[in-house]
C-alpha cells in the first residue's frame, strides 16, 4: 500500500515536471519563431497539482522553422528517460505479480505510463527540426522500441 502511494506521488511529480517542461518548450518556441504557424486553441490548467502551470491542449506547427536549444533537448530527453525507467520498473512489477490479485492493477499502471512516455516522445519529436529529430531518435529511439517490445512480450505471456 505504501509503495503504491509512493508510486502515485512520483507520477504526480513526473507529470508536473512534464507539463512544466512542455509549457516552457512551447513558450520558448513561440518566442523564438518568426512565424504565425503556431496556433493555440485552448488552455488547460492543472489545479489538482496546486501550481499555476498551464499546458496548451491543442497546437500545431505547420512548418519547422525553429529549433530548440541543446539544453532544452537534453532536459526533455532526460525527462523522457526518467519516465522510461519508471515504466520499465512498472513492467517488472507487473511481470513479478503475474498470477496474483495485484497483476491487473500493475499491468494497468504500466500500460498507462508506457502510453504516456510514447506520447511524450512523439510530441517531442514533433517539436524538433529534422536534424535534431535524427539525433534524438539515435539517442533514445531504441529505448522506446524496447518499451513497446517488453509490453508486447508481457501481454503475450499472459495469453500462454
- Note the pLDDT tens digit of each residue in 26-71: 444 444 443 333 333 333 333 333 334 444 444 443 344 457 888 9
Nearest-angstrom CA–CA distance, 67 and 4: 39
Model's pTM, two decimal places? Answer: 0.59
Nearest-angstrom CA–CA distance, 62 and 82: 30
Is the confidence at residue 14, as pLDDT, over 50?
A: yes
Helical residues (DSSP H) of the chain, grouped into ranges:
2-32, 70-96, 103-127, 130-159
Q: Is 70 exposed, middle or buried (0-12, 13-18, 19+ CB in 10 A)?
A: exposed
The DSSP code sequence of 30-74 is HHH---S--EE--EEE-GGGTS--EEESSEE-SS------HHHHH
Q: Give percent above pLDDT 90 in the chain.
A: 52
DSSP state of 129: -
Q: What is the pLDDT of residue 24?
A: 54
Nearest-angstrom CA–CA distance, 121 and 105: 24
Over range 89-97, report the average pLDDT: 94
Cell 536534424 -> residue: 131
Amino acid at each position: 500500500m505504501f509503495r503504491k502511494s509512493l508510486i502515485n506521488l512520483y507520477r504526480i511529480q513526473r507529470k508536473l515536471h512534464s507539463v512544466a517542461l512542455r509549457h516552457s518548450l512551447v513558450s520558448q518556441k513561440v518566442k523564438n519563431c518568426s512565424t504565425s504557424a503556431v496556433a493555440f486553441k485552448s488552455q488547460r490548467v492543472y489545479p489538482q497539482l496546486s501550481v499555476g502551470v498551464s499546458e496548451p491542449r491543442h497546437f500545431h506547427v505547420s512548418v519547422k522553422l525553429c529549433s530548440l536549444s541543446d539544453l532544452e533537448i537534453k532536459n526533455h530527453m532526460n525527462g523522457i528517460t526518467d519516465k522510461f525507467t519508471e515504466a520499465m520498473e512498472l513492467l517488472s512489477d507487473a511481470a513479478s505479480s503475474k498470477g496474483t490479485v495485484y497483476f491487473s492493477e500493475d499491468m494497468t499502471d504500466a500500460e498507462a505510463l508506457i502510453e504516456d512516455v510514447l506520447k511524450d516522445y512523439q510530441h517531442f519529436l514533433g517539436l524538433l527540426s529534422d536534424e535534431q529529430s535524427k539525433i534524438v531518435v539515435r539517442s533514445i529511439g531504441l529505448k522506446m522500441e524496447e518499451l513497446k517490445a517488453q509490453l508486447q512480450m508481457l501481454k503475450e505471456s499472459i495469453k500462454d
